């Protein structure tokens, strides 16, 4: 063989071998990508992640393998690795809108608001007509407690996709979070006109009109609520003051909640303790129950046993009638009480009237009205005015039965969460009791709230 041809032949053989190996690697990577896509399509994310990792080991520069692996890692809460892979892709593709959008969403899921905002704003600057980018930016603002900015982002989404019902549904949530229920309802009707189902829109309108009580629902992923409170009561006519204390822990479940409570009272140099279970549970469509059992081992101030059941039923547009029954077992007597109530949700207001009947030798009847305003558009923060009057037998606070001729009461309360976890509840009231020995009672209480 010609000596001059030998090096060239050797180089050609080496190149052919390398090309063959490279082709084999590429073929193996393609096979893993195909297997990964099949696993992903059938919802087997764990298997898909394994195939994408094998594809990357065969072809470390594969954009498809790295991008899809990062997406699935993000979906399966392995987000730190997902963010690292997105960042690697962006190091060579700094203006790739798909990767910026994916990293921005992942950062938002991790609560890294400022980093997420930078990525998502970069996408909207590159592609102002990209609806998915405005969706993600609106979601970021809504999740981070910036409803006004969320409304602006969703409005841009609406402008680029005016026939997309999801855009109106998303903006409705932002309006609700901003306490603008009129605009929220208008967007729900626009969603209906754009193709959202009647069932979905009607459900959201009913939810918009109702603001569940703190005991019945919790925001986000907070599943527990603890509170500790102190009530001080002062009386006219030389009566001694009363003190009451209570603490509870409530857990939230898919169809209701359950609390364990501890109660203590000090009156007339006497003390007493009681324990209670208090639960809320869904019943059927737009209906829920409140069930309560209370027990006092010594029963010097509290009833020895108390049971309570109240059924709430939503009807029409924001109406909520209720029926209730209470049974109290004191050491020397039993008391039954029957109640009927009617509530109405009007914008950010909740109005309620309740009448309670206490059968006895002389029928006791009491009436109570409540006007509550939710000033943050959620179930957390509100101010309330309340008042009532009664004749005959009346149930005073914490189930102490007094025989009275007539009485009236008025009060106010405010509840405010300063962070998603910490809040406070303050109440005050005054009662004028017309008995054989008339007196005026003034109550004030403070309660600390903690959610986790």
Query: Could you tell me which residue, 314 or 353, shows the higher pLDDT?
Result: 353
pLDDT tens-place string over residues 237-254? 677 888 999 999 999 887
As a whole number, mean pLDDT of residues 332-349 equals 86
Instruction: Please report the pLDDT score of residue 248 as a whole number.
Output: 96
Tell me if 123 sits within 8 A of 103, measured CB to CB: no
Instruction: Please report the pLDDT score of residue 272 as a whole number.
Output: 92
As a whole number, mean pLDDT of residues 161-168 equals 91
Closest of 448, 401, 409 to residue 432, by C-alpha: 409
How sure is the predictor about 164, in pLDDT bands with cuts at 50, 70 and 90?
A: very high
How many Å apart are CA 402 and CA 429, to the nearest integer?
A: 18
Instruction: Please report the pLDDT score of residue 239 as a whole number.
Output: 76
Instruction: Please report the pLDDT score of residue 398 as a whole number.
Output: 46
Homologous superfamily assigned to 28-209: Tetratricopeptide repeat domain (1.25.40.10)
Instruction: Please report the pLDDT score of residue 397 as a whole number.
Output: 47
Same fold, 28-209 and 224-451: no
Tell me if 22 sits within 8 A of 40, measured CB to CB: no
How many Å apart are CA 329 and CA 233, to the nearest integer?
A: 24
Q: Three-state DSSP class for 222?
A: coil
Instruction: Please report the pLDDT score of residue 399 as a whole number.
Output: 46
Tell me if 204 sits within 8 A of 172, measured CB to CB: yes
Query: Could you tell me which residue, 91 or 137, shows the higher pLDDT?
Result: 137
As a whole number, mean pLDDT of residues 19-37 equals 66
- List beta partners, residue 235: 441
How sure is the predictor about 7, in pLDDT bands with cuts at 50, 70 and 90?
A: low
As a whole number, mean pLDDT of residues 256-278 equals 92
Q: Three-state DSSP class for 112?
A: coil
Q: Three-state DSSP class for 382?
A: strand
Phi, psi for residue 359 in degrees, rounded to 5: -65, 135
> In the chain, where are the structural domains located?
28-209, 224-451
Instruction: Please report the pLDDT score of residue 436 as a whole number.
Output: 67
Tell me if 429 sits within 8 A of 234, measured CB to CB: no
Distance set, CA 372 to CA 297, 377, 414 (Å): 36, 12, 9
Among 12-26, 279-293, 311-325, which is the least confidently predicted range? 12-26
Res 316 pLDDT > 70: yes
CA–CA–CA angle 326, 331, 335 (5° rounding)? 25
Closest of 287, 278, 228, 283 to residue 257, by C-alpha: 278
Measured torsion, CA atoms of residues 49, 54, 59, 60, in degrees rounded to the nearest 10? 60
Tell me which DSSP letter residue 240 carries.
P
Q: How far apart are the first and last CA of the chain?
A: 82
Distance set, CA 18 to CA 8, 11, 15, 152, 378 (Å): 15, 10, 5, 55, 65
For the structural domain made of 224-451, what CATH number should be given? 2.40.160.60
Residue 285, judged by CB atoms within 10 A of its CB (0-12, 13-18, 19+), counts as: exposed
How many Å apart are CA 433 and CA 361, to the nearest integer?
A: 20
As a whole number, mean pLDDT of residues 110-126 equals 91
Res 421 pLDDT > 50: yes
pLDDT tens-place string over residues 189-244? 888 888 888 878 877 776 666 555 555 555 556 789 999 999 998 888 677 888 99
SS3 of 119-171: HHHHHHHHCCCCHHHHHHHHHHHHHCCCHHHHHHHHHHHHHHCCCCHHHHHHH
Residue 91, judged by CB atoms within 10 A of its CB (0-12, 13-18, 19+), counts as: exposed
As a whole number, mean pLDDT of residues 63-92 equals 85
Handedness of CA 403, 328, 398, 416 (dihedral sign): negative
Q: Which residue has the tokens 């809108």?
A: 97
């Amino acid at each position: 063989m010609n000596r001059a041809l030998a090096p060239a032949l050797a180089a050609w053989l080496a190149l052919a071998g390398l090309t063959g190996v490279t082709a084999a690697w590429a073929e193996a990577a393609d096979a893993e990508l195909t297997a990964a896509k099949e696993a992903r399509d059938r919802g087997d994310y764990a298997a898909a992640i394994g195939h994408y990792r094998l594809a990357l080991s065969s072809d470390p520069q594969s954009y498809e393998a790295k991008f899809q692996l990062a997406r699935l890692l993000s979906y399966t809460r392995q987000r730190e690795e997902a963010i690292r892979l997105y960042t690697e892709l962006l190091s060579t593709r700094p203006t790739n809108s798909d990767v910026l959008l994916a990293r921005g969403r992942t950062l938002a899921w991790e609560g890294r608001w400022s980093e997420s905002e930078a990525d998502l704003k970069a996408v909207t600057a590159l592609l102002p007509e990209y609806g998915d980018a405005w969706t993600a930016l609106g979601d970021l603002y809504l999740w981070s407690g910036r409803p006004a900015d969320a409304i602006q982002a969703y409005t841009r989404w609406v402008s680029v996709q005016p026939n997309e019902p999801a855009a109106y549904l998303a903006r409705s949530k932002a309006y609700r979070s901003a306490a603008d229920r009129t605009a929220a309802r208008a967007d729900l009707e626009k969603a209906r006109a754009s193709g959202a189902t009647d069932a979905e829109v009607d459900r959201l309108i009913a939810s918009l009109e109702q603001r569940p009580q703190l005991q019945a629902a919790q925001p986000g992923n907070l599943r527990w609520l603890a509170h500790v409170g102190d009530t001080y009561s002062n009386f006219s006519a030389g009566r001694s003051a009363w003190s009451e204390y209570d603490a509870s822990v409530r857990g939230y479940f898919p169809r209701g909640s359950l609390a364990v409570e501890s109660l203590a009272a000090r009156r007339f140099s006497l003390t007493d303790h009681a324990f209670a279970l208090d639960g809320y549970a869904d019943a059927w469509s737009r209906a829920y129950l409140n069930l309560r059992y209370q027990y006092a081992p010594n029963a010097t101030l509290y009833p020895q046993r108390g049971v309570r059941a109240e059924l709430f039923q939503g009807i029409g547009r924001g109406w909520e009638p209720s029926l209730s029954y209470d049974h109290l077992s004191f050491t020397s007597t039993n008391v039954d009480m029957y109640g009927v109530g009617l509530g109405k949700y009007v914008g950010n207001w909740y109005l309620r009237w309740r009448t309670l009947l206490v059968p006895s030798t002389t029928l006791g009847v009491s009436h109570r009205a409540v006007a509550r305003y939710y000033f943050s558009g959620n179930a957390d923060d509100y101010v309330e005015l309340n008042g009532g009057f009664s004749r005959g037998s009346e149930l005073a606070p914490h189930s102490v039965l007094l025989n009275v001729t007539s009485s009236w009461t008025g009060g106010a309360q405010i509840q405010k969460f300063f962070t998603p976890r910490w809040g406070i509840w303050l109440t005050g009231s005054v009662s004028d009791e017309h008995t054989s020995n008339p007196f005026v009672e003034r109550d004030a209480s403070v309660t600390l709230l903690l959610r986790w």
